[in-house]
Structure 1
Amino acid sequence: MNTQAPECLGPYRLVRKIGEGGMGVVHLGLDGEGREVAIKVLHPHVAADLKARDRLTREVETMRRVRSPHVAEVLDAELVGGQPYVVTRFAPGRTLEDTVLADGALEAREIIRLTQGLCKALVAIHAADVIHRDFKPSNVMLVDGEPLVIDFGIAHLVNATRLTQTGMFVGTPGYLAPEIIRDSEITQAADVHALASTVFFAATGAPPFGTGTFEAVCFNIMEGRAQIDKAPAWLRGWLSRALQVDPEARPSAHELLRMAKALDPSVTSFNQTTFDGPTGTKRIGNRTRAMENFSDLLPPVEYGKPAPPPPQRREEKPPPYVPAPMPARPPRPDQRVAGYPAPQPTSPSQVRPYSPPPAPRQYTPPAERRRYLFGSQLTGLLLLVTLVALTVMMPVMVGAVAVVLALVLRLGEYLFGDLVKRRQVRGSSAADPLLALVGTPWALIKSALVTCVHVPLALLFGVCVWGVLYWAGQMTVNDAAAYAAGAFAAGLFVLPGGGAPRKAVTRSLTGVLRSPGAALVAVVLVGTAALFAVMFALGQNPDWYPWQAPESVIKTLASEAEQSTIGLITGLIGSLLDDLGLGFLTNWF
């Protein structure tokens, strides 16, 4: 098994890789309707663990209960096959890490918007009894200024405190909670700690527990030595509450959201904001209005008895150590899936200068998507041209085949289209074949009824084309009827009601043409066949087997009608003369 996945996984087409981490590879993909999704293919060492698969199966079902505009919801999952994958919503944009590294720390209003959005996401996640366990700036996308939590679910596939064979944590050390590093019981309070660390990075452009060696950062986390003084003054109380070393002392997700709604950049709170009891009554100590000049940078004036320092601030001096210098670095490749942190350079010669990422562009569908869809749609159009040309050459036989083909394609779309939609809602299931078998009779009845209504519409369209070509185009009856038959065949797919056969053709071609090269070859081959079919249709007389040519049929019907009409009139006149005693006059007729 290899995470370099094939061109297709189930009903999804893989377009390009957009991220990779310790748990798997993330691809930009297209579903059966051509919509963009993020497909996360698990690494072999994860997929080979049967217990991990069982746990992931339960957690995917749990994640489906999370409904929040700030969480990239799970759309589908295949966990029993040889290559397990999870499908989530694709979010175009930049990660919070990319944005801060490129543009600097966020402004106050952006920080508040980010904080409240992340708190709402955390409330929804915890309401589903899930622990995210990997909140960090690279797992937060900014979409039109609103935060979107991504990589939801894979981060807690395995215990975040368990070391892998490489001896590295599942998660980014600078954003882990102390209890994860100590290998103690992990609760939802760990997400609160990680969320606050992420907000600190957005507000300052640096991790809250400093930079340096892995051991130095972990020591600062376990000792609660967050650099709160680097954060804006109005945010320090909120950060202090959420970054408590003791998980029991941290607020819940709901309380954290209430505190976030009370944030005000115009108020500098040097004492933390607290909430009295379960009622959530807010109590704020010494508040000082932020001045419009730089006077707030001066030492505060003591008007009364100073408030005691926060209990979590320790008076003892930390053991002396000098963190290793940490130059600015480009974003890690692990931006779409939770996993191991990228290895850090071990010597100054290995450190590459940081070059900021390019400025964000307005989102447009990727070129790969246009190529895939255009190739499939163009191939389908050429197939329709070929069918129309064959119908012009053999109107009766190919016209009947076109009706049967439209019926079969409509039946397939009703069966397999509904199956794909169910999988997008609840994932794959062992009962899918049974449901398809049970639904076959109803799909057959439905497709037959729709076809019975659609065929007369296509016939009417063909008659209109015949009238235009015969009366306005001065064509012969046979030629106009042949082109009318071609219009009838085209109407089965292009007129209103032909959407189901078209979707079935597109879905089939998308599954067969698995690369731009295959689509190009198909376009060339089908285009050549269509060209020859059109040339033969224009250069030879149509074959009306097993019927006669329309012109012969019309002449025969007209002759029979004329003969029967004259005989009727003669009979009526003879009967009238006999009644009048003038029967001898019938010899004159």
Structure 2
Amino acid sequence: MHSVGDYTLLSVLGEGGMGIVHLARHEPTGQRVALKVLRPQIVGDEEGRKRLAREVGSLQRIRSRWVAEILDADPWGPVPYVVMRYVPGRSLHDEVAEEGPIRGRDLHWFSRCLIDAVAAVHDGGVLHRDIKPSNVIMEGRTPVLIDFGLARVADDPRITHTGWLLGTPGYLPPEILRGDDATPATDVHSWAATVAFAATGRPPFGRGPSAAIMDRARRGDHDLAGIEPNLRAVLDVALSPDAVRRPTVAQLQAWFRDPSLSIFDTVSAVDPAAARATGGAYGTGRPVVDRGADRPVAPTAPLVARPTPFEQEDDRTLVEADPTLAEPQRESGGARFRRTCLWLGLALLSGAGLAVVPVLTAVVMLALVGLLRGLSLAGSVHGERRELRGARWHDGPRLVIGTPWHLLRSVPSTIVLVLWAGGLALAAGLLCYAVSAASGVTLYVCGVVLATMLATGPGASRVRGPVRRVLSPLARSTGRWAVALLVLAAVAIYLVLRFHAHGTDWAPWHESPFGSAF
């Protein structure tokens, strides 16, 4: 393990444009902290280190349960670093990916806590300027804002001209994309975009190339479908491309205290320019410091799509900055072909099994169908419940306890599927008997037809779904796919050799229940 100052680095928590964040232990006290080792480009020369010291001095005054505040820093050491409160938990992006969108009261709580975090940062006299899902850590159901104000440390032409991404398109407002300076309205826009992602599980300005995302942001073309009407109306005005139309932080806090208020009436009753000049957006009268705060902002300038420094970024850099911008991966044609081969291999193996040990193979196949259908039904109910009201701590135990009931619920439709598949398999067997096919060939054909119909008949989607989730990861990798095929081939060869050595084993019967026909 390495040490930095009085801190022992335990593991890497993440990496960003400004540096690498480590989980560390403060040796004198044993306290666990998040320690960000800053890149040399960020601090640079003595002037840069002085600037970092001034910034950290002001940021250390911020204290809020909704913010991972700065505890310590050393701008002058051989390795400059900043120490923040360690927040155990997943980022909002990972939480939504694992648990689904946040709903109902949990969404109201999340939105209110996050706007209170923004207010706390502003009360410290700085702007955040990079609010996004990967900068929000979920401590249970409570959001904690990280990396507040540190973007200003990197606000230097020597850095911005070298391609460092000081924000994520999709969570940055149009005025920043135009190259204007950040204002309090900047954080309001980013807050709204982050809340929209939490509520829907998708970026409000969509995914895809960075230029397309920024163009939609400039035009205010956002997607808030699925959010409850009152909050959707608030987010709609907060995501306005015109900064003057956005509510202030204080107005948003007031709305969350009393959602019966109209956010539109509140916004129209306040002069946004006066609020920015007096710090009224935060209810404290304290000015917010930023490099552009001393000159007027022209939010009414036409939103012309012209090149910005962000448009020179590689789209992969944007995805690394915030994974919510990644385009959902589409399965390649090769992967589909490999998965089809695996499906075919399973069908052929089922036929071989039915030819060698027909009773045992049929029992195993039908039991697997019933089990897969019941588990799929339980999973669907579990997912729909989370989609409706968000994740809860008791979802896992409830899923386990409720699974037997869902297995029982699936029995009638499973019987229909089995009768359908069994009838067609029997028809195939009768055709083989009519042409005087050997008993082994007849059983083999019956097995292949039975397996195929169990995967394609009425209600078979609940069989295909769980099996596909196993086969798809194997098909994406040629190596794993080849190993899976070798395993299937090895089992098939074993069955063929056993058939040639012993014929058909009708256990638990000593001989075929169909008499001389088999």
Normalised to the residue count of structure 1, the TM-score between the two structures is 0.45
The yes-or-no answer on 1:207 pairing with 2:203 is yes
Using the TM superposition, give the Cα deviation of residue 351 of structure 1 relative to its aligned residue in structure 2, in angstroms: 13
How far apart, CA to CA, are the structure 1 residues paired with 2:157 and 2:177?
6
* 1:130 positional shift: 0.4
Query: Taking every aligned residue pair, what percent have the same amino acid on both sides?
Result: 39
Matched positions, count: 298
How far residue 155 of structure 1 moved from its aligned partner, in angstroms, is 2.3
Q: Residue 20 of structure 2 is aligned with which of 19, 25, 29?
A: 25
Structure 1 stretches lacking a partner, 5+ long = 1-5, 281-311, 313-317, 319-328, 354-358, 363-589
Q: Which residue matches 2:78?
A: 82
The 3 A distance-change label for structure 1 pair 58 and 127 is same
- Aligned-partner SS, 1:186: coil
User: Partner residue of 1:54?
Assistant: 50
Alpha carbons 2:200, 2:227 under 8 Å: kept: yes
| 252, 261, 269: which one aligns with 1:277 | 269
Give the aligned residue type for 2:19.
Answer: G
Choose from 155, 160, 167 the match for 1:159: 155
Q: Distance in 1 between matches of 2:158 and 2:43?
A: 17
1:235 to 2:231 alignment: yes
Choose from 6, 12, 17 the match for 2:7. Answer: 12
SS at match of 1:13: strand
Relative to structure 1, the CA distance from residue 200 to residue 344 in structure 2 (aligned partners, 3 Å threshold; closer, same or farther) is closer
Alpha-carbon shift at residue 96 of structure 1 (Å)? 1.0
| Cα separation, partners in 2 of 1:180 and 1:352, compared to 1, 3 Å | farther
1:100 touches 1:106 (CA, 8 Å); kept in 2?
Answer: yes
Larger Rg: 1
Deviation for aligned residue 1:119: 1.1
CA distance in 2, matches of 1:346, 1:75: 40
- 1:332–1:227 distance in 2 versus 1, CA, 3 Å: closer
The 1-side partners of 2:183 and 2:225 are apart by: 27
Q: 1:160 touches 1:180 (CA, 8 Å); kept in 2? A: no
Relative to the length of structure 2, the TM-score reads 0.51
Secondary structure of the residue aligned to 1:19 is: strand
Tell me the equivalent position of 1:253: 249
Q: Structure 1 residue 128 and structure 2 residue 120: aligned?
A: no
What CA distance in whole angstroms lies between the structure 1 residues aligned with 2:231 and 2:43?
42
Mapped partners of 1:261, 1:151: distance in 2: 27
Cα offsets for 1:156-180 (capped at 9, x unmatched): 2223999745645322111011111
Is the alpha carbon distance of 1:344 and 1:236 closer, same or farther for their aligned partners in structure 2, counting shifts above 3 Å? closer
Letter in 1 for 2:176: I
Task: Confirm or deny: 8 A CA contact 2:90 2:138 kept in the other structure.
Answer: yes
Q: C-alpha distance in 2, partners of 1:172/1:127?
A: 24
Pick closer, same or farther for the CA change 1:59–1:352 going to 2, 3 Å: farther
Letter of the 1:13 partner, please give it: T
Q: Distance in 2 between matches of 1:110 and 1:246?
A: 29
Q: Distance in 2 between matches of 1:107 and 1:176?
A: 24
2:162 aligned with 1:170:
no
Q: State the AA in 1 paired with 2:93.
A: E
Alignment map for 1:114-125 (pairs within 5 Å): 114-125=110-121
Instruction: Call closer, same or farther: CA 1:342–1:154 in 2, change over 3 Å.
Output: farther
Partner in structure 1 of residue 59 of structure 2? 63
Which protein is richer in helix relative to its size?
2
Distance in 2, Cα, partners of 1:26 & 1:64: 18
8 Å Cα contact 1:27-1:40 kept in structure 2: yes
Aligned-pair CA distance for 1:346: 11
Aligned amino acid, residue 2 of structure 2: E
Q: What corresponds to 2:220 in structure 1?
A: 224
Distance 1:279 1:224 in 2: 22
CA-CA distance at 1:345 after TM superposition: 10
Q: 2-side partners of 1:231 and 1:342: how far apart?
A: 20
SS in 2 for 1:173: coil
C-alpha distance in 1 between matches for 2:393 and 2:33 = 20
SS in 1 for 2:154: coil
Label 1:279 to 1:249 Cα distance change in 2 as closer, same or farther (>3 A).
Answer: closer
* 1:18–1:361 distance in 2 versus 1, CA, 3 Å: farther
Contact 1:93 1:360 in 2 (8 A): no
**1-structure distance, mates of 2:332, 2:37:** 35
**In 1, Cα distance between the equivalents of 2:324 and 2:334?**
16
Secondary structure class of the residue paired with 1:125: helix
1:90-489 correspondence to structure 2 within 5 Å: 90-159=86-155, 164=160, 167=163, 169-263=165-259, 272=264, 274-275=266-267, 277-278=269-270
Contact 2:121–2:127, Cα closer than 8 Å, also in 1:
yes
Match of 2:358 in 1: none
